[in-house]
Structure 1
Amino acid sequence: MSPTPVLLDCDPGIDDALAIAYLVAEHLAGRIELTGAVCTAGNVGLEDTVANACAWLDLAGAPELPVAAGASGPIAVPHVLTPETHGPRGAGHAQLPTTTRSTDPRDGARLWVDAAREHPGELVAVVTGPSSTLALALELEPALPRLLRRLVVMGGSFRGHPGNTTPVSEWNVDVDPEAADRVCLAWEVARADDPSVAPARWCGLDLTERAVWTPERSGRLVEAARGSTLSRHLADALRFYFEFHESVGEGYLAQVHDPLVAWLALHPEAALTEPVHLRIECAGEHTRGMTVEDRRGHRGRPANAELVVDLSVPGGAVAVVEEVTASIANLR
């Protein structure tokens, strides 16, 4: 069997760096074909986002692949950055090397569309940042939901789980609710026309906060990777992430949402899901950015989303993080 084509839309960001390294490891092992990386401004501005993505790809030993700059910010509101969470440049304490990797002349939305058209019905798309570029891609190609094999999104907070940006909203959605809602609406329309279109899979904080990285794990990664440049830079980046989580009362650890979602994109059979009709609140004074899931069919609309509510693998998220660590440790 040929390797599964995968497109990553990311906003590195510290846990994005782990997702990038993991996907590169899977690509080099021949299990996937990493067809490209779209860089969407999120945790940091677009220039830093692109530079970080290229640097992490270099450090992981990725071959040349399309890296395209996507949306420079939210589609309807000012962009809010997160230097307190990921550092002023998005790499924590890591001093990333200057990259010589060239970027693709296409913008990120065009790369989305081209990748889907090149691999119709086969492409697995993973979004670990805001949905801003994906929303623009849907304007270029409204049939995008039909072209993808699977869309997996890190975003939202479900089943009453508290948000991490407001009481009810998760950051990737909160930074650009209009974009996330356009994604929900696009999949609603597509599935109303053709029920065979796969619902988008959403991985919210209720799931991803279980993926915890500790200083001990950083130490084991550096040791297993024999002190590789990649592992040392990841450890430096994660040290900042530990400090942030400690500052907000979570302890000296890091919730690494994005590598868990990247792993789930490659292991769909491990996801325990719940079908829902999903929309994003874009107007509420106290609820803007809230992911509103209809489980009982109140809206009378087809399920446009599957919430990943749990994992079927023994050990759950802890075991997944262990597998991700082992994959990254194989990179030299």
Structure 2
Amino acid sequence: MTEVRRVVVDTDTGIDDAHTLLYLAGRPDAEIVAVTSVYGNCVEDDAVRNIGYVNALLGLDVPVARGAAGPLSGNPRIARAVHGKDGLGDVGYDRPLPAVIGESAAELLVRLGREQPGELDLLALGPLTNLAQALRLDPELFTRYRSVVVMGGSGPYAAPGTLLMVDANINNDPAAAAEVFAAPRRELVMVGVNVTATTILDEQAIGVLRAAGTPVSRFATEILEAYLDFYQNEWGRRIIPLHDPLAAGILLDPGFATAWVDGPVNVLSDGFLSRARLMRTHDGLPPAFRYTPAPPTRVITAVDAPRFVADFVEVLSR
């Protein structure tokens, strides 16, 4: 019998976050037990409205808690050019505010961890502000979750001459990310842009989703246009990477990851962008500077992209 992973989702509900909720809801080995909102792909008010819209589409009745509207310090960077002004590609859905609980996102994360120690997985899909605020309430928070999986980070240092996609989740709140990667944990997994950028939903796969004609697949393709408009500037094709869905896939099926390294992660700035990196070069050596010691994070370095993309399409096409 397949074990069911019970997942708490922290999300800045943009297009690929919505896809992730659809994917989790369609997997028989996953149960979404609560959802918390955070700014990032859109403002927090839109993030919680989008949670409500997707939950209603799925018939999902779980606690929803509102989270941070901005980083621990400074102003939020909102990805309107990627996800549209409303986070769902500005299709025009009616998105009333859903019923939310009286606790903040941070308070809910702490309570669930204490009430059900070792039973829940925490999946973080946006800036890590809510998680950092929760850690300030309970520094042992991550030891209470079975695992914490973060869609964010950049993996080890890239090979010389190699450029990486921007890691918006870490760059939006590097101070929060630093607190997350320094915290004690049972298992912390980093699914970064070094691997998510390789999981491509191409023209054929999008066509399969469109042809499925289910409410879920129709919604999944309706919200894609803004995302495709953005990524066509990256590759000259109307294709997208499955950033957040891959993190969910690895949480449920670690076999989607074909290589990883356990080691310390630091959050560092180059003066332009902040990134979370494994403190190793591409060939496994320590970096040429002093870094801050940290508990080991499982950093994914390679994935079976074809198998994951096929599973994602199959789940959303049912």
Matched residue type, 1:81:
I
2:199 counterpart of 1:211: yes
SS in structure 2 at match of 1:248? helix
- Alignment of 1:42 with 2:40, yes or no, is yes
| Match status 1:328 vs 2:316 | yes
Q: State the Cα distance separating 1:152 from its structure 2 match.
A: 0.7
Q: 2:142 aligns with which of 142, 145, 148?
A: 145
Cα distance in 1 between the residues matched to 2:97 and 2:170: 32
Of 284, 297, 307, 1:305 maps to 297
Whether the 8 Å contact between 1:24 and 1:57 is mirrored in structure 2 is no
- Residues 224-263 of structure 1: matches in 2 within 5 Å? 224=212, 227-263=213-249
After superposition, the Cα gap between the structure-2 partners of 1:302 and 1:178, relative to the gap in structure 1 and judged at 3 Å, is closer
CA contact under 8 A between 2:164 and 2:194: conserved in structure 1? no
Kindly state the Cα deviation for residue 9 of structure 1 after the two structures are TM-superposed.
0.7
Distance of aligned partners of 1:96 and 1:214 in 2 relative to their CA distance in 1, 3 Å threshold: farther
Please tell me the residue identity of whatever aligns with 2:299: L
Match of 2:22 in 1: 21
Per the TM alignment, residue 230 of structure 1 is displaced from its structure 2 partner at its CA by 2.9
Residue 121 in structure 1 maps to residue 118 in structure 2: yes
The DSSP-based 3-state class of the residue aligned with 1:281 is strand
Specify whether residues 117 and 148 from structure 1 end up closer, same or farther in structure 2 by C-alpha distance, changes over 3 A only.
Answer: same
1:185: Cα distance to partner? 1.5
Q: CA deviation at 1:153?
A: 0.6
SS in 2 for 1:41: coil
Distance, in Å, in 1 between the alignment partners of 2:19 and 2:58 is: 10
2-structure distance, mates of 1:51, 1:19: 16
2:1 pairs with 1:3: no
Structure 2: distance between partners of 1:241 and 1:151 = 27
Task: Quote how far apart the aligned CAs of 1:76 are.
Answer: 1.0
CA offsets 1:6-27 (integer angstroms, 9 cap, x no match)? 111111111111101011122x
Change (3 A) 1:299 1:79: closer
Q: TM-score, normalised by structure 1?
A: 0.85
- State the alpha-carbon separation in 1 of the partners of residues 311 and 267 from structure 2: 33
How far off its partner does 1:217 sit? Answer: 2.0
Following the alignment from structure 2 to structure 1, what is the Cα–Cα distance between the partners of residues 163 and 48? 31
CA contact (8 A) 2:121 2:148 kept: yes
> How many angstroms apart in 2 are the aligned matches of 1:61 and 1:221?
20
> What is the deviation of 1:250?
4.8
Deviations 1:294-329 (A, max 9, x none): 235665835431111123xxxx11211211221122
1:294 matches 2:279: yes
Long gaps (5+) in structure 2: none
Aligned residues: 305
Summarize the alignment of residues 67-146 of structure 1 with structure 2, pairs less than 5 Å apart.
67-99=64-96, 101-146=98-143
Give the whole-Å Cα distance in 1 for the aligned partners of 2:12 and 2:268. 23
Return the offset for 1:164: 2.9
Counterpart contact for 2:119–2:146, Cα < 8 Å: yes
User: How far apart in 1 are the matches of 2:279 and 2:147?
Assistant: 21
Contact 1:199/1:303 (<8 A) preserved = no
Q: Could you tell me how far 1:88 is from its partner in structure 2?
A: 1.0
The residue identity in structure 1 corresponding to 2:210 is V
Partners of 1:163 and 1:104 lie apart in 2 by 39
Q: Which has the larger displacement, 100-109 or 271-280?
A: 100-109
CA shift for structure 1 position 274: 0.1
Superposed CA deviations along residues 204-252 of structure 1, whole A, max 9, x for unmatched, are 111001111134323312322xx23332222121122111111234521
| 1:168-183 matched pairs, under 5 angstroms | 170-183=167-180
Match in the other structure for 1:52 = 50
TM-score, length basis structure 2: 0.89
RMSD across aligned C-alpha pairs, in angstroms?
2.1
Measured in 2, the distance between the counterparts of 1:235 and 1:300 equals 43
Per-residue displacement from partner, 1:86-124 (whole Å, max 9, x unpaired)?
111111143323357422221111111122122201211
Q: Identical aligned pairs, as a percentage?
A: 28
Contact 1:116–1:123, Cα closer than 8 Å, also in 2: yes
One-letter code aligned to 1:59: L
